[in-house]
Structure 1
Amino acid sequence: MKDKSTISRRTVLAGGAALATLATTRSGWAQAETGERPVVLITGTSSGFGRLMAEGFARGGAHVIAAMRQVSGRNAAAAEELRVLSGDGMAIDVVEIDVLSEQSVNAGVARAIENTGQIDVLVSNAGIVVPGPVELQTPADFASNIDTNMGGALRVYRAVVPHMRDQGQGTIIQMSSALGRAIDPMLGGYCASKLAVEAAADALAYEVAASNIEVSIVQPADAYPTRLQENAIRYWEEMLSRRDAADRAKLDVYAPHIEAMLAGLEPDRDLDPREVSDAVIHLASMPFGERPGRLTVGPYKDGIDPVNAAHDQLQNDMMEHNPIIGLLTLD
């Protein structure tokens, strides 16, 4: 049985120390060390953090599998933009994956493995926000956050983990949010989905440690300008169009809340989303066994880190009394 110091490699690192370590990591990480391109599968690459990560990983020497839905439809231009980048030392393959469909996920992952022979890093990034008062959301509206953000991650885990186990090692980076720890009224479904995906990723980290697979969570901690907010407003408007007369009558009650919600969905243009994508790329480049279990990036980091640290302490205390601890090993 491993001692507790081995199990607690997932303890939360102090923010400054973690970022200092990440900042010293060179680009072209695995290729420089092995002579081969590491293969990185990223979901949700049509825009935002995913799009930036796809290009950043490729420029760093990785072979990127850029996954997105509607490759021949709504996201055709985004797919072509990534394809054009491939070449001149960069390798990017675009694969269609809709994380809402197990069949699509399985087919896309199988195609990626057929083309490259391996998946070294999975970045589970696809996500949506369907905002609004909990009272005005049908179970289906509320669950749409969870089915994409949590269910989508689970479908991809199920497709990728067996492959990583067979190849003897792998890294999974799960994109979350500061709202996986703190609750934002009017974003109840989104917060629930991020709370759920963090719980699942934490459990997965314990369960696959013996297979030499590491799991880390990244929490952006502010309204970085991506298409997430624009899409959230579209989802809100679509949800309103489906409300019956009784629910529409409640809109007046929530009018000030809705006004505040829409203002809060305005992205902060002073923030650079590359802070997040760069942090993910550096996290992936850290030596196996030295990555933090969580990394928070953004202005609200100082508020979220103590919550993560308290959770980490509680979790480690609980694991001391859990019989599964004897089954955990990173060898």
Structure 2
Amino acid sequence: MSKKIVLITGVSSGFGHAIASYLASKNYAVYGTVRREIYPIDGVNLINMDVTDRQSVNDAVEKIIQQEGKIDVLINNAGIGIGGAVENFTPEEIDLQMRTNFIGYVNTMQAVLPHMRRRGKGKIINISSLGGIMGLPFQGFYSASKFAIEGLSEALSIELKPYHIHVVVVRPGDFHTHFTQNRKMVAKYADPNDVYHEQLKKTLAVIESDEQNGLAPIYLARKIEKIVQKKHPKFSYIVAKPDQRLAAVLKKILPQRWFFNILASHYKVN
């Protein structure tokens, strides 16, 4: 039996690195995209690609198909986080957040879909977030990008039903990765006189503590491998600590005002 060919975006660190390394150890043929040169990852074919550049994406996908003859699984993972008050985001900061986290996913899906459709099979796994089903304070545009992924994935999963292509969203909670160190902040954050400055510092401390005490990325990598193996995967999966999985349940059953108060209390917004 031939190996499954898996394309993963954004493997230089964090989730992408963990998923790529784990799948390679499980004997998948893994292609991982990077924007700049990194240390090799055992068993992973690194390919230079910028998800925000459609031509770069098309070229990378075409190269893999020429070499392997197929792409069985696309795992959309590349993304960034920009923190700050919604009011303080500049148009350029909004564009960067949405172009990377949302349009980047669109570019890769549109590149692989004609090939998967012709084959009559394939799997697209979009890494979303718990922030894709609940708006996170001072991460508003990050949440917006993930909400967009959720809605698009839902529509796409229905559109692709006749072609036997499965679309899956995975919603991680907090994980201990380089995401904390790599988080960008709005330019206005540097202004100590900004009305949101002190509140944002308090909330950011909670966010960073949650991340640093989060799960190890290997937990997500193992879950992804199980999804890759499933013949008929569910549309969505949550991978998080018990309290964060509970939060997703409470979002569904509590009155909105109660749930918003819980989030405000957790993130020290007062």
Same fold (TM over 0.5): yes
CA contact (8 A) 1:95 1:112 kept: no
Give the Cα separation in 2 of the matches to 1:293 and 1:307: 18
CA contact (8 A) 1:186 1:257 kept: no
Q: 1:122 aligns with which of 63, 66, 74?
A: 74
- The alpha carbon displacement at 1:308 in A equals 6.9
- The alpha carbon displacement at 1:306 in A equals 6.1
CA RMSD, Structure 1 to Structure 2 (Å) = 2.0
**Is 1:265 matched up with 2:217?**
no
Q: TM-score, normalised by structure 1?
A: 0.71
Residue 56 (structure 1) aligns with: 22
3-state SS, counterpart of residue 53 of structure 1: helix
Q: 2:3 aligns with which of 34, 37, 44?
A: 37
Residue 307 to residue 280, structure 1, CA distance change in 2 (3 Å): farther
Residue 8 (structure 1) aligns with: none
* Identity over aligned pairs, percent: 31
- The alpha carbon displacement at 1:261 in A equals 3.4
- The alpha carbon displacement at 1:69 in A equals 1.1
Deviations along 1:257-278, whole A, 9 cap, x unmatched?
A: 2212331134224521211111
Residue 139 (structure 1) aligns with: 91
Residue 181 (structure 2) aligns with: 230
Residue 274 (structure 1) aligns with: 218
Give the Cα separation in 2 of the matches to 1:270 and 1:148: 24
Query: Could you list the runs of 5+ residues in structure 2 that have no partner in the other structure?
Result: 255-270
Q: 1:301 aligns with which of 242, 245, 254?
A: 245
Deviations along 1:128-156, whole A, 9 cap, x unmatched?
A: 10110111111221232111111000000
Residue 6 (structure 1) aligns with: none
Give the Cα separation in 2 of the matches to 1:146 and 1:176: 13
CA contact (8 A) 1:143 1:189 kept: no
Higher relative contact order (CA 8 A, sep 6+): 1
Aligned length: 250
**Is 1:218 matched up with 2:162?**
no
CA contact (8 A) 1:66 1:95 kept: yes
- The alpha carbon displacement at 1:186 in A equals 0.5
3-state SS, counterpart of residue 265 of structure 1: helix
Give the Cα separation in 1 of the matches to 2:84 and 2:130: 18
Query: Could you list the runs of 5+ residues in structure 1 that have no partner in the other structure?
Result: 1-34, 71-75, 87-91, 311-331
1:261 is matched by which residue type in structure 2? T
1:58 is matched by which residue type in structure 2? A
